Amino acid sequence: MIDLARLRALRAVATYGTVTAAAAALHCTPSAVSQHLAKLDRETARTLLERDGRRLRLTGAGRVLVAHAGRVLAAVEEAEAALAAHHTTLSGRLTIASFASACRGLVPPALRRLAAEHPQLAPELLECDPRIGLDLVDRGEIDLALVDDWPETAIDFPPGVSALTLGTDVADLVVPASHPAARRRGPVRLAEVAAETWIASVPGSVCHEWLLRALPGVRPRYLVAEFATQLALVATGLGVALIPRLARPSPPSGVAVVPVDPPPTRRVTLAWRSAATVRPAIGAAIDALRAAWSSAPTAEGGQ
């Protein structure tokens, strides 16, 4: 019978390409991964990996085994989740990944609720780009991910991953308090402010890609990862920015918030492995995050 720990080691090496990277993903030592691989070769009487420069690649036999590994490990996870569902007390580790503004605006009240209702549960948090968080869920390294996307840069959820949209978060134009748009009675259209000096998220982020699609040809002068820093730059009169409401619960003095027509909206979604749906901890975390969303400074509710 094939040992599951050895099967996980083979799948991790196939995903990451090196023993060191696989060990980091599995939270063990490289020597432990190497031992698992050597024993799996003997167990199957096959050579499953071969050297390709500094990396390892699957042999034909290795590809056959890894093709089945995902289904086997998913079935084991389903069994573990079903067993966990019989426990009346939620306990153990629960890992959550989240994009930055949700880390600040949604996750803290959700974690507070989990601590009050399930004190034996040990949630862990990782702030990361939504696409990285979704990939970690897909690979089984994170239990639950909060991700955001815009209609023009929608995220595709992989097979085997379930998703629940909490709702949509609206972005507004943020300008210095002395800006002419601050005196407008109604909303502005993005085309009207296309020639402004723009402050935007860093390249590669979902928000940066969205802005480039919404305003073709725009070249932001200031590229900043944190929305709080973008607000500080706007307050000093250096430019304008489009900032989601979830990211600015209390705008600083010196800025004005101007609605945009049509309003730019991003979707905020929870994602988890479908095999883990019956885990009580997953359900408790989803309930806590939905409750946090219900009191967030957003314009539209979820489903």
Tell me the pTM. 0.69
Residues 6+ positions from 146 with CB-CB distance below 8 Å: 96, 97, 98, 99, 102, 106, 107, 130, 133, 268, 269, 270, 289
Tell me what the pLDDT averaged over the chain comes to: 87
Domain ranges of the chain: 4-84, 92-167+270-294, 168-265
Which CATH number is 92-167+270-294 given?
3.40.190.10
The predicted-structure confidence for 189-205, as pLDDT tens digits, reads as follows 999 999 999 999 999 88
Which has the closest alpha carbon to 293: 81, 135, 77, 98?
98
Which one is predicted more confidently, 249 or 195? 195
Inter-residue contact 238 to 199 (CB < 8 Å): yes
The topology (CATH level 3) of 168-265 is D-Maltodextrin-Binding Protein; domain 2 (3.40.190)
pLDDT(301) > 50: no
The predicted-structure confidence for 147-171, as pLDDT tens digits, reads as follows 999 887 888 899 899 999 999 999 9
As a whole number of angstroms, the distance between CA 86 and CA 279 comes to 9
Question: Per-residue pLDDT averaged across 192-219, rounded?
Answer: 92
Which one is predicted more confidently, 10 or 244? 244
Question: Per-residue pLDDT averaged across 42-58, rounded?
Answer: 81
Banded pLDDT at 250 (limits 50, 70, 90): confident
Inter-residue contact 127 to 77 (CB < 8 Å): no
pLDDT at 76: 64
Question: What CATH class has 4-84?
Answer: mainly alpha
Banded pLDDT at 299 (limits 50, 70, 90): very low
Question: Per-residue pLDDT averaged across 177-192, rounded?
Answer: 91
Banded pLDDT at 58 (limits 50, 70, 90): confident
pLDDT at 84: 60
Which has the closest alpha carbon to 125: 136, 117, 87?
136
Q: Decide if 4-84 and 92-167+270-294 have a common fold.
A: no
Least confident of 184-188, 197-201, 255-259: 184-188
Q: For the beta carbon of residue 158, count every other beta carbon within 10 angstroms.
A: 13
The predicted-structure confidence for 64-98, as pLDDT tens digits, reads as follows 777 777 777 676 666 666 666 545 567 789 999 99
Percent of the chain with pLDDT over 70: 92
Question: Per-residue pLDDT averaged across 222-247, rounded?
Answer: 94
As a whole number of angstroms, the distance between CA 227 and CA 101 comes to 8
pLDDT at 80: 67
Banded pLDDT at 43 (limits 50, 70, 90): confident
Banded pLDDT at 41 (limits 50, 70, 90): confident
